[in-house]
Structures are given as C-alpha cells and as structure tokens.
Amino acid sequence: MSEMTAGQIRYCYACCQQVPGRATSCPACGTLQPPQPELSASERHSDKLIVAALLLCFFFGWLGLHRFYVGKVGTGILTILTIGGLFGLWPLIDFIVLIFGAFTDKQGRKLTRWT
C-alpha cells in the first residue's frame, strides 16, 4: 500500500466500523477487507457545479432546490416540509459548506468544480 492511501479513512463493509488505512482486516469484527481500488477523478468528484448549487441555494435554498440539483431528493423534500429546515437554517449551512467545497452529491462525491 502506498503512502497516498495509507491515511485514507475506510469503513468495514461488514460492521461499518472505521478501519485504519494499513489494516487488512477489521479491528472490530476481524473481517478481511478488500483492497481499496484507486478511484478515478470522476468517481471522487461530483460533476455538479458549485456555482450552480450556490445560486440555487441562495435564491431557492428554502425550497431545497440545490439539494434536488445534486440528487438529494429526500432531504430536498424535507427542506420544503420544514420551510427551509427551521426557517432557512439548513440552506445557510449548506451555503457555507458549498463555499468550502465540502458539499457532497447523492453519491457522496464532493462538489469541487466552480465552473
């Protein structure tokens, strides 16, 4: 295993406990872990754009449109039902998270592209 992947956080596919990067088996349940395949750029990063999500979040965040945009339909509907998740609190948090490039799409891929 290379130094690059050694620090990665992995989770046991059997019990979902955190597995250290170098471990070949789960410290919690002992299940042998499959080797981590190298992810391509398109698998690690979302193809959705931060700018688009930011604009949707800013103008229609209370409708959860930015969440629909990245495929998070469930939490998008939840945002509408709760009127922007406690009156605009969720969109505000999402807005900040988006700016810092930590917002993820439905597949858990980070939105890293601005344009």
Q: Does 15 bind Zn ion (CB under 5 A)?
A: yes
Residue 44 gets the label, from left (phi > 0), alpha (psi -120 to 50) or beta, of alpha
Q: Does 28 bind Zn ion (CB under 5 A)?
A: yes
Q: Which of 6, 14, 39, 96 binds Zn ion (CB under 5 A)?
A: 14
CA–CA separation, 27 vs 13, rounded Å? 12
The Cα angle at residue 30 between residues 28 and 31, in degrees rounded to 5: 115
In the complex, least distance from residue 24 CB atom to Zn ion, rounded to whole angstroms: 12
Q: Does 29 bind Zn ion (CB under 5 A)?
A: yes
Instruction: By CB under 5 A, name the binding residues for Zn ion.
Output: 12, 14-15, 17, 26, 28-29, 31
